[in-house]
Amino acid sequence: MVLSNLVPFRKGGKDALAHYRREADPFAAFQRQMNRLVEDFFGETGLKPFGAGDRFAGSFTPTLDIAENDREVTVTAELPGLEDKDIQISIQNDRLTLRGEKKAEHEGKDAQHYVVERSYGAFSRAIQLPAEVDDSKAEAVFKNGVLKIRLPKTPTEKNKTKRIEIKHG
């Protein structure tokens, strides 16, 4: 054991003492552990913490709304800044997959500055469909950055719903 490791502060005066106090504070230590825990969790799963934007490459994930009625399943995806040629839709084994690539570029000029920011990133989002659909009759419409996919249910799926009577007992 090295004796200098036991000395709370060395040359450095007040900054070293403040560092020692910060390290000895149990609440600060708890805060550091929680920060590491959250960073480790979100880093391993690919999820984003709340408030994380989609400004940098690879972090864009489209938001989806999924609705179902007795005739069809409707999926709505928000894809701002994309064009229909940038998006691929596929269905396989009752699983709908959206893929694409987002390319964003911002250019700003004034008398003294010239700024160009670019970000690129591919995305993929797959969902298990809640019902069996007839993929040959599927329709997709892309307008104003919103993709709406209508997937009609198969005739057998439409007839699966059966109302169960409740008896007083």
Q: What is the pLDDT of residue 7?
A: 56
Segments in the chain below pLDDT 70? 1-24, 42-59, 158-159, 161
| pLDDT score, position 22 | 58
In the prediction, which pLDDT does 20 show? 57
Which H or E run contains 87?
Answer: strand 87-92
Express each pLDDT in 11-43 by its tens digit: 555 555 555 555 667 777 888 888 888 777 766
Q: What integer pLDDT is reported at residue 146 of this predicted model?
A: 94
> In whole angstroms, how large is the CA radius of gyration of the chain?
27
pLDDT, residue 138, reads 93
Distances (CA, A) of 49 to 40, 77, 147: 11, 20, 25
What secondary structure does DSSP assign to 91-138, as a single string? Answer: EETTEEEEEEEEEEEEEEE-SS-EEEEEEEEEEEEEEE-SS-B-GGG-
What pLDDT does residue 149 have? 95
CATH assignment of 63-158, among 3.40.50.970, 3.90.76.10, 2.60.40.790, 2.60.40.1180? 2.60.40.790
